[in-house]
């Protein structure tokens, strides 16, 4: 990336596979699924009745009960994951200039649950009974807002909403803020909790979700010929990133360097990707260009890999366009096969998977890959994790509206 160098120093996650990073990583490298029948409400009337839910979530160690009642679930996830990332980074706000620490946490949908509940109040009891906390609970920027309040971070404070590309755009733009000199540290990523009656109904109406209700663990099957849609999931993926010299000065453990970032628009359709993955290909090329790396330098791609017919086909085509002959030798896996699709938080938890693959030399698998699709013919690391030295990794996110984002990370050497 142009400007000052940016490194990753802290990781935090809330996922259907565990409420912290170690649990999440252990599950994905062992090929476990976090998908099950929805428990937050009765899903029986819906065509898709399964999702990836965060289980056993108790915010009370981090958030006072009174405060929690005034925060939507997606905000609570961001606070808990941010605190894990801050501790992991060893970031002591008392030792930092608060004006040089910022927050950029996005959400694709925001507070859908409180909208549904308060609309029912309005219809049944009238406008005077609507909660005064409705607006500050539903707006997507409250994840960034509450995290900055808790930390006392007074630097740049933003929120990005680009559907399924939200977290990846958030991390990329946060890195640009640091590279340009506007902050030394950014807490960044994405958070989402939209598995509500209305949210599920909307995605069912789009016919975007898997209806493999009788076998939820096998429902998310990216690149498999029998894939039939994605799995709605919830959670948060947050990273601490900082300027290299700042990290070194305070003795931080450095996971990796953020080497490149690309972003493009399909300018094609509300929900369908551009034919041939043209926008995705340009996005990956831009990330490579900004990094100064060559296609052959990339050792692993954490794919967007949603388990939908067109996305998987066109992402495969885009990878072939960008990487040429190297595409045949390049491991590509979709951790959505295990964790489902966290929508605006997806890019955060997927970057964390890529960071740990690079650090630990283990590539998470694509589970449920059983029936090869002639149009999806790359190495998808089927069903079992693979030990492999990873020096450079790529993470892709592509969102409704034609929003494309790609991050490149590399091992930190000096």
Question: How many whole angstroms separate alpha carbon 158 and alpha carbon 79?
Answer: 15
- Of the candidates 169, 246, 341, 403, the residue annotated as catalytic is 341
Please, are residues 46 and 286 in contact by the beta-carbon 8 Å criterion?
no
Question: How many whole angstroms separate alpha carbon 163 and alpha carbon 122?
Answer: 28
> What do you get for the CA distance between the two ends of the chain, in Å?
16
- Of the candidates 146, 159, 164, 283, the residue annotated as catalytic is 164
Q: Give the tokens for residue 112.
A: 């859908």
- Of the candidates 146, 169, 246, 304, the residue annotated as catalytic is 304
Annotate 32-43 with b (16+ C-beta within 10 A) or e (fewer).
bbbbbebebeeb
Please, are residues 367 and 219 in contact by the beta-carbon 8 Å criterion?
no
Q: How many Cβ atoms are within 10 Å of 355's Cβ, its own excluded?
A: 24
Burial (CB count within 10 angstroms: exposed 0-12, middle 13-18, buried 19+), residue 15: buried
Q: Decide if 164 is catalytic.
A: yes
Q: Decide if 341 is catalytic.
A: yes
Question: How many whole angstroms separate alpha carbon 191 and alpha carbon 71?
Answer: 13
The three-state (H, E, C) secondary structure of 259-320, written as one string: EEEEEEECCCCCCCCCHHHHHHHHHHHHHHHHHCCCHHHCCEEECCCCCCHHHHHHHHHHHH
Provide the pairing of β-strand 256-265 with 6-14: antiparallel
Q: List, by residue number, the catalytic residues.
A: 164, 304, 341
């Amino acid at each position: 990336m142009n400007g000052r160098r940016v490194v990753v120093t802290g990781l935090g996650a809330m996922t259907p596979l565990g409420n912290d990073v170690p649990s999440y990583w252990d599950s994905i490298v062992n090929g476990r699924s976090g998908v099950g029948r929805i428990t937050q409400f009765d899903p029986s009337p819906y065509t898709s009745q399964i999702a990836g839910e965060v289980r056993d979530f108790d915010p009370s160690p981090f958030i006072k009960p009174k405060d929690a009642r005034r925060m939507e679930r997606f905000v609570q996830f961001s606070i808990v994951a941010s605190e894990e990332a801050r501790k992991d980074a060893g970031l002591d706000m008392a030792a930092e200039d608060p004006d040089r620490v910022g927050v950029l946490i996005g959400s694709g949908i925001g507070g859908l649950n409180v909208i549904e509940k308060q609309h029912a109040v309005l219809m049944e009891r009238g406008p005077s009974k609507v909660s005064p906390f409705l607006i500050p609970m539903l707006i997507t920027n409250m994840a960034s807002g509450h995290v900055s309040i808790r930390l006392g971070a007074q630097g740049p404070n933003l929120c990005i909403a680009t559907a399924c590309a939200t977290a990846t755009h958030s991390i990329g733009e946060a890195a640009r803020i640091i590279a340009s000199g506007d902050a030394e540290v950014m807490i960044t990523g994405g958070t989402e909790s939209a598995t509500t009656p209305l949210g599920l109904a909307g995605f069912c109406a789009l016919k975007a979700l898997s209806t493999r209700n009788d076998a939820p663990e096998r429902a998310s099957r990216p690149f498999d010929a029998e894939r039939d849609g994605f799995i709605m999931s919830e959670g948060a993926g947050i990273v601490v990133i900082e300027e290299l010299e700042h990290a070194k000065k305070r003795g931080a453990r450095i996971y990796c360097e953020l080497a490149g970032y690309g972003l493009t628009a399909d300018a094609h359709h509300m929900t369908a990707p551009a034919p041939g993955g043209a926008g995705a290909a340009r996005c990956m090329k831009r990330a490579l260009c900004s990094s100064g790396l060559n296609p052959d330098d990339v050792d692993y791609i954490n794919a967007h890999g949603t388990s939908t017919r067109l996305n998987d086909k066109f992402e495969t085509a885009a990878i072939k366009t960008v990487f040429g002959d190297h595409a045949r030798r390049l491991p590509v896996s979709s951790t959505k096969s295990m964790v489902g699709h966290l929508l605006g938080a997806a890019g955060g938890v997927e970057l964390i998977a890529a960071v740990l693959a690079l650090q630990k030399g283990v590539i998470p698998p694509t589970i449920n890959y059983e029936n090869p699709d002639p149009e999806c013919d790359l190495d998808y690391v089927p069903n079992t994790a693979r030990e492999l030295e990873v020096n450079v990794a790529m993470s892709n996110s592509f969102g409704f509206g034609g929003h494309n984002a790609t991050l490149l990370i590399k091992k930190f050497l000096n």
